[in-house]
Amino acid sequence: MTRTLSLIAMLAACAFLALGATGASAADKPSVADQVATRLGITPEQLRSAFKAVLTARVDAALATGKLTPEQGAKLKERIAKANGLGLGAKRASAEKRQALVKRIGAKAKRLGVAAEYLGLTREELRTELQNGKSLAQVAAAQAKTVDGLVTAMLAPVKERLAKAVAAKRLTQPRADELLERLGDRVEKRIVRSRNAK
């Protein structure tokens, strides 16, 4: 996720430099891209071409590392090539969709229903135990259940959603594996931490 966010931040910086690619404003003031190009001693079109080349290279790198599916990469390259400016709206929209998906999947892992079912408790009973300062690990031990089993149970819905996202080509398998590993680490930490822990 951090690497993806870094990529998006870099692209956003490029977008700032290239704003105004559609031409001069109503007051005929040069765009930021035009001013930067002038300072560099190149034409605005050369500057925009350079930005597009960088963006295309970034898409290629994301494809090579499995951060994007071939379909996502092809769509982004097409939008970059056809854009009057740099076509960064497409990249931003793609990033926002992925972030929303990750957020939904992460929220699934935080719900107590799956944990309560695995532990043989109702949600209310589990919530009461947690409010009394016990950790999920302590509750599991009291119910003769293992932490590993609890982690597996809590991640099961997450794995299912990730598999669907991969099948729908919204995520690549390497990216899904990476997300599952990170969410697994978070779930494990949550299980051993009590509500009253600082």
- Reported as a single tens digit per residue, the pLDDT across 89-113 is 445 555 665 566 556 555 544 567 8
Residue 2, pLDDT score: 46
Residue 39, pLDDT score: 86
DSSP characters for 10-58? HHHHHHHHHTTTT---TT-PPPHHHHHHHHHTS-HHHHHHHHHHHHHHH
Torsions phi, psi of 11, nearest 5?
Answer: -65, -35
Residue 60 to residues 72, 74, 174, Cα–Cα distance (Å):
11, 10, 16
Residue 143, pLDDT score: 93
Tell me the pLDDT tens digit for each residue of 123-150: 889 889 988 989 999 999 999 999 999 9
Residue 124, pLDDT score: 87
How far is the C-alpha of 158 from the C-alpha of 184, rounded, in Å? 10
Residue 141, pLDDT score: 93
Low-confidence ranges of the chain (pLDDT < 70): 1-29, 84-111, 194-198
Residue 138, pLDDT score: 93
Contact 155, 183 (CB under 8 A): yes
Query: What would you report as the CA-atom Rg of the chain, rounded to the nearest whole angstrom?
Result: 23
C-alpha dihedral over 152, 179, 74, 54, to 10 degrees?
Answer: -170
How far is the C-alpha of 56 from the C-alpha of 60, rounded, in Å? 6
Cα 151 → chain centroid = 22
